[in-house]
Structure 1
Amino acid sequence: MQLTLLDVKLTKEVKRQAEKLMSRYKMYEAIIESKKMDLEPKLVASYQGSESQRGNQFYSEPEKIALTEIELDEYTRTLRKLDLVYNSLRPMQQRIWDRRYLLDQQDIDVYSDLVIPDRTYYRLKREMIAVVAEAFGIMAD
């Protein structure tokens, strides 16, 4: 099973989506904390004027809270999946992920800094992207 997963050809769209998730890995913690802060009750009572009708939209504070909680759950689930994938990778793949997607270095700089051949680098990177794509169900059929 693992060998067939890693030998799979990645389309540009699958690769783009997986790399987008990988590059946002560290941002998810900040987003989650921000959403939690939005859910905290406001201690100061304030007057807030409201229009009688907001253009044909229904709006209520409980609805806003419920939507924020749904977003928070989704971000938390995404972060947990990324944590699992990241921690399951080989140490060299983790270093590639860190340098390429979190520090935004170019490919040539990454494999030069890590002192590995470019073929090995691209193989490890392709395997890593395939694992992320599989974990998030974005693999091409």
Structure 2
Amino acid sequence: MNQLSFLNTSISKEAKKDAEKLMSRYKILDAIIESRKLDLEPRLTQNPEPSEIQRDNQFYSSTEANVLAELEIEEYVRTKRKLNLIYDSLKPIQQRIWEDRYLMGRRDSDVYNDLYLTDNKYYSLKRDMIVTVAEAFGLIKNAV
């Protein structure tokens, strides 16, 4: 990869949308991970619903379902760890933008006014932050 490619901050609308979605889910990933782990714990009470085997004649393996659920949990944990690394590597002002805009759900104009930034400076910092997230998750398709 060429060093000048790091200076390229152009991003597709789809990649931007996906990166912003990841940034918005940053706060709730811990809750998702813990709830999925709780779903894997064995139940001590009888389940009134019919089992998977009773519903139809298709093959069902509870062990396989548990392994797939564990893999899904690992993917959530990996995503959370990546987002933690990205968040910690950002400038403090970009961390504030992330918190205010994506975690608290405030409007862009409210955020840049509260941070005493010009709109150009705010959108530049925000774009750089989104590109960083998109790059880390492989959302940007580099044309070679």
TM-score after normalising by structure 2: 0.87
Q: Distance in 2 between matches of 1:17 and 1:107?
A: 18
Pair 52,43 (structure 1): closer, same or farther in 2 beyond 3 Å? closer
Residues 5-60 of structure 1, C-alpha deviation per residue, up to 9 Å, x if partnerless? 24321110110010000000011100000011112122345676447564453222
Give the fraction of aligned pairs with identical amino acids, expressed as a percent.
56
Aligned length: 141
Pair 8,59 (structure 1): closer, same or farther in 2 beyond 3 Å? same
Unaligned runs of 5+ in 1: none
Match of 1:128 in 2: 129
5 Å matches for 1:58-137?
58-137=59-138
Unaligned runs of 5+ in 2: none
Contact 2:53 2:59 survives alignment (8 Å): no
TM-score after normalising by structure 1: 0.89
Q: Distance in 2 between matches of 1:46 and 1:3?
A: 59
Q: Distance in 2 between matches of 1:96 and 1:35?
A: 30
Contact 2:112 2:118 survives alignment (8 Å): yes
Residues 60-109 of structure 1, C-alpha deviation per residue, up to 9 Å, x if partnerless? 22122111101100000000000000010000000000011001111101
Q: Which amino acid aligns with 1:90?
A: K
